[in-house]
Structure formats: C-alpha cells, structure tokens
C-alpha cells in the first residue's frame, strides 16, 4: 500500500519494467527467425508474348521471323534515336526485340513457348531436352540450329501449315545421315527465303515416317502447304546435294505455281456446293476424293490431277473433295461405296453426263490408291481417255436417236460437214524419280538393300 519504493505491476500482477530500463536494446532473434530482406531484382527484358512484340501470328515461317527481326532491329537501334528521351525508349524497345528473338529465333525455344508459354522456358535448356529427358539413345542432329527446324509428331502440322518446306527424314544410327548434316545446313542457308528446311528424327517419330512412306535414309521431301502436294528429292549423296537441291527446289516450286494457276479445278469444302455443282449438273465430272494433308499418296498425285484438268478442257469438269473435312464426311460416305471404302485414298470417280442420283453413289470408280502395281501418273492418261470415250458415246447416242426420229427408214451416224478441231496438246504427266538399289552392310554385318 506504500508508494515510491514498491515495484510497479500490471493488472495481472506482472512486474513492469522501469522507464530507464526500457531504453535497453532488445536482444535480436536468432538468424533462423530473422526476416530475409527483399532483394532488388535486376531489370529484365523477358517478353510475355514475343509474337506480339514482333507483330506477327504464330503460324509464320522462320524465314519471316528473321526478316521481321532484321527490320525491327534496324528501325529501333539506339544509335538511330535522336535525343536523350528517344534514345532511352529505343534502348528498352531494342532489348525487348532481342529478347523476343531469343525465343522465336530458336526453333526449340519457340516450340516450348508455343506449347507451354514463357513459364516453361526455364528448367530445361531446350524443348528437345524436355521431350527427350526420359528417352535414352535418342540423338538430334540439328538441336538448337536456327536454320534447320526440328519437326516432330507434336509440331509438324503447326509448323508446316504455311509456306514451302524441304523436309529431311533421318535415323540417328544412319552414317550417311550424320555425314549429311553439314550440307543440309548449307542448303538451308541457300534456301532462305525460298523454302523452310526441317528435319524429322524418323526413329523418334515413326508415325511421320509411315505417313511419308520413307523406305531409306536420308530421305528429302519438298512439301507445299499451299497446294497440299509433295515430291521426293533424288538423293545421290552429300557431295552434290548443296549444288543440286537449290535449283531443283526452285524448278519444282515454279512448276507447281504454273500448274495450279493455269487450271480450273473445283475444291469443294461444303456439301451444298458439291450437290449443286456435281449432282445437280448435267456435265461430266472427274472427282478426286482425298484424305487431307496426311494422305501422302494424295499429295503426290495432286499436281498430275491438275494437269489432267488441262487435258479435259471441254470434255469434263474436275473437282477435289477433301474427306478429312468434317463438313464433307457425309458426302464421302454417300459417294464412296462401303465395299470400296476399305481400300486406300485417293479415289477417282467419273460422274457421267446427264441427270445423277442424289442418294447413294452417283459416280463410277476409276482408280484408287489400293490398286497395286499402278501409279497415278500412269493412270491419268487412261482416265482422260475414258472421259473422252464416254463423251463420244453420249454424243453418238444422242445423234443417232435424233437421226432415227427424223428418218425412221434409214439409220446412220451423222457426219459433220467440217472436220473436228485438232485435240489440245496433251500434258506431260510427271512420274516419280526412281531411286536405284545399292547394297550396304547393316549394323550386324549383314548385306541389306537400300534405295538411293
């Protein structure tokens, strides 16, 4: 109850510390309990969306990416900026452009960004390392190469959807493939701006190997996404590859442009168009039913099918029906009979002149991909001959009936007063270039046959 000498206490009886004692520094907690000071993060030039930085879409080619990068780097180089503020802005813009190109300029990093976004660019050095981390014995000849793009079953459709492509199929155990890597890289540099160059590890991507019917390594295919066609390059060894592949690619692309530009082939994408143009028409039609871009036999036959249309000018109309399109699935089911459907694409049908049924198959099958021993380039002249003979038969029947109606006592075929015009110049159907058979020693020392 006294005052002054007693120690002060809180309401619960706990002694209080005198004011002078409270100025004593409080002991610091142990290091494990101390908060970690925030680190100042260095400025970053990471790009959330490199495509937006470049102002391009995701389906552009590597050649277009390089072209845009050069143009942007030249335009926004800091040395071209006038004034301190403009130069500071140019430095940031230039850094963003380079950061974007670090992703888009590397085919593996671009594939990783496309599939997983920017968050997954770390952890593995490349997309290839991520995909192959669990696979032993795999070998990629073109890992990280900026000119030769890795094509896999995952990215093949996306990458080859635009432009022209020279595609190599190789096997890691193939010694000629290993020897060809340097010349393939040289060829890619020469073909910059003409065609993209890609490579497929056929061991790791067996489905693509089967799709292109690869029978020997290395195998090179020129592929056009615009026209959905491809042709195989006649590989004769690495010594002549660089000097021969560029003129060959240029010649083939020019030939395709000429063929597809100068012919009138209807490409049907909707059922009403097919019904209106073919089934409701009295014209003769030659129709090619394909299985889309995954049908290599269809792609190989397409250029000659377009040439066929020039051979049938004034005789028959020519059209293509892509059965891989969901909208045309019912058309293909109706027009390709069930017993024929078990065979192989492409299917070629003739629809004769005159009215055509709207239910069930309306045409007659001429040829399909399951006809062993026959190749489309050899069949097209026969198809043209069949169409001409069918047209002649129709004209003869019509003329004979007309003559019989006007003169029932005598029957003869009408003879025109003027001689018929000369037939148009027939197109030259291009046969695939043959590969000669050589013998080499396999990995086990046995003699194996190989096409070259």
Dihedral over alpha carbons 239, 214, 145, 110 (to 10 degrees): 160
What pLDDT score was predicted for residue 26?
Answer: 53
Lowest mean pLDDT among 122-126, 230-234, 324-328, 431-435: 122-126
Q: Give the full edge-to-edge strand order of the sheet including 347-351.
A: 266-268, 317-322, 285-290, 347-351, 364-368
What pLDDT score was predicted for residue 405?
Answer: 44
What pLDDT score was predicted for residue 89?
Answer: 85
Predicted confidence (pLDDT) at residue 219 exceeds the cutoff of 90: yes
How far apart, in whole angstroms, are the C-alpha atoms of residue 78 and residue 82? 9
pLDDT category of residue 186 using cuts at 50, 70 and 90:
very high
Instruction: Determine phi and psi for 103, rounding to 5 degrees.
Output: -85, -55
- DSSP string across 26-66: PPPPPGGGSPPPPPPPPP----S-HHHHHT--TT--HHHHH
What pLDDT score was predicted for residue 402?
Answer: 43
How far apart, in whole angstroms, are the C-alpha atoms of residue 450 and residue 216? 6
Predicted confidence (pLDDT) at residue 440 exceeds the cutoff of 70: no
How far apart, in whole angstroms, are the C-alpha atoms of residue 127 and residue 115? 9
Lowest mean pLDDT among 66-75, 96-105, 159-168, 421-430: 421-430
Lowest mean pLDDT among 28-32, 203-207, 233-237, 346-350: 28-32
Closest by Cα among 218, 303, 217 to 256: 303
How far apart, in whole angstroms, are the C-alpha atoms of residue 329 and residue 311? 29
Q: Which of 218-232, 241-255, 283-297 has the highest mean pLDDT?
A: 241-255
Core vs surface per residue 334-356: b (16+ CB within 10 A) or e: bbbeeeeeeeebbbbbbbbbeeb
- Per residue in 236-251, pLDDT (tens digit) is 999 999 999 999 999 9
What pLDDT score was predicted for residue 3?
Answer: 43
Query: What mean pLDDT value characterizes the chain?
Result: 76
Place of tokens 């002060």: 8
379 vs 186, more confident: 186
Predicted confidence (pLDDT) at residue 179 exceeds the cutoff of 70: yes
How far apart, in whole angstroms, are the C-alpha atoms of residue 40 and residue 197? 44
422 vs 314, more confident: 314
Lowest mean pLDDT among 58-62, 125-129, 275-279, 448-452: 448-452
- DSSP string across 299-352: HHHHHHHHHHHHHTTTT-EEEEEETTSGGGHHHHHHHS-HHHHTS-S-EEEEE-
Q: In Å, how far are 211, 347, 377, 435, 451 from 298, measured between CA atoms?
A: 11, 9, 12, 20, 22
pTM of the model: 0.58
- DSSP label at 431? P
Q: What is the 3-state secondary structure (H, E, C) of 212-241?
A: CCCCCCCEEEEEECCCCEEEECCCCCHHHH
- Per residue in 397-422, pLDDT (tens digit) is 544 434 434 444 433 433 445 455 55
Predicted confidence (pLDDT) at residue 148 exceeds the cutoff of 80: yes
Terminal-to-terminal C-alpha distance of the chain: 114
pLDDT category of residue 197 using cuts at 50, 70 and 90:
very high
pLDDT category of residue 9 using cuts at 50, 70 and 90:
very low
């Amino acid at each position: 109850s006294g005052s002054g000498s007693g120690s002060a206490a809180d309401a619960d009886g706990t002694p209080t510390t005198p004011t002078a004692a409270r100025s004593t520094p409080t002991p610091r907690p142990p290091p494990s309990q101390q908060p970690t000071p925030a680190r100042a993060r260095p400025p970053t030039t990471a790009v959330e969306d490199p495509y937006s930085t470049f102002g391009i879409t995701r389906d552009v080619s590597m050649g277009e990416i390089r072209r845009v990068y050069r143009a942007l780097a030249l335009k926004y180089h800091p040395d071209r900026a006038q004034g301190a503020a403009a130069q500071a802005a140019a430095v940031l813009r230039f850094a963003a452009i380079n950061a974007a190109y670090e992703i888009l300029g590397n085919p593996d990093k671009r594939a990783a960004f496309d599939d997983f976004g920017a968050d997954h660019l770390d952890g593995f050095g490349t997309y290839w390392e991520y995909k192959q981390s669990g696979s032993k014995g795999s070998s990629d000849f073109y890992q990280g190469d900026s000119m030769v793009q890795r094509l896999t079953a995952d990215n093949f459709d996306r990458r080859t959807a635009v432009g022209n492509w020279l595609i190599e199929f190789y096997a890691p155990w193939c010694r000629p493939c290993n020897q060809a890597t340097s010349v393939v890289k040289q060829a890619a540099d020469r073909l910059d701006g003409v065609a993209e160059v890609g490579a497929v590890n056929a061991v790791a991507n067996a489905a693509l190997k089967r799709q292109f019917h690869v029978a020997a390594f290395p195998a090179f295919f020129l592929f056009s996404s615009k026209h959905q066609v491809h042709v195989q390059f006649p590989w004769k060894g690495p010594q002549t590859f660089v000097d021969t592949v560029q003129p060959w690619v240029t010649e083939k692309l020019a030939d395709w442009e000429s063929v597809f530009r100068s012919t009138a082939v209807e490409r049907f994408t909707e059922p009403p168009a097919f019904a209106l143009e073919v089934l409701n028409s009295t014209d003769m039609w030659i129709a090619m039913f394909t299985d889309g871009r995954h049908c290599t036999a269809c792609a190989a036959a397409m250029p000659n099918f377009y040439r066929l249309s020039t051979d049938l000018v004034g005789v028959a109309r020519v059209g293509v029906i892509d059965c891989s399109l969901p909208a045309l699935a019912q058309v293909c089911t109706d027009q390709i009979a069930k017993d024929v459907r078990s065979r192989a694409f492409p299917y070629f049908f003739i629809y004769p002149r005159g009215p055509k049924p709207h239910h069930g198959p309306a045409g007659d099958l001429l040829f399909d991909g399951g006809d062993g021993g026959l190749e489309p380039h050899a069949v097209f002249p026969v198809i043209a001959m069949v169409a001409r003979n069918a047209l002649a038969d129709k004209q003869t029947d019509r003329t004979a009936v007309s003559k019989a109606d006007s003169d029932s006592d005598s029957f003869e075929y009408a003879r025109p007063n003027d001689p018929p015009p000369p037939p148009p110049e027939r197109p030259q159907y291009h046969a695939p270039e043959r590969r000669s058979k050589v013998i080499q020693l396999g990995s086990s020392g046995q003699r194996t046959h190989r096409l070259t």
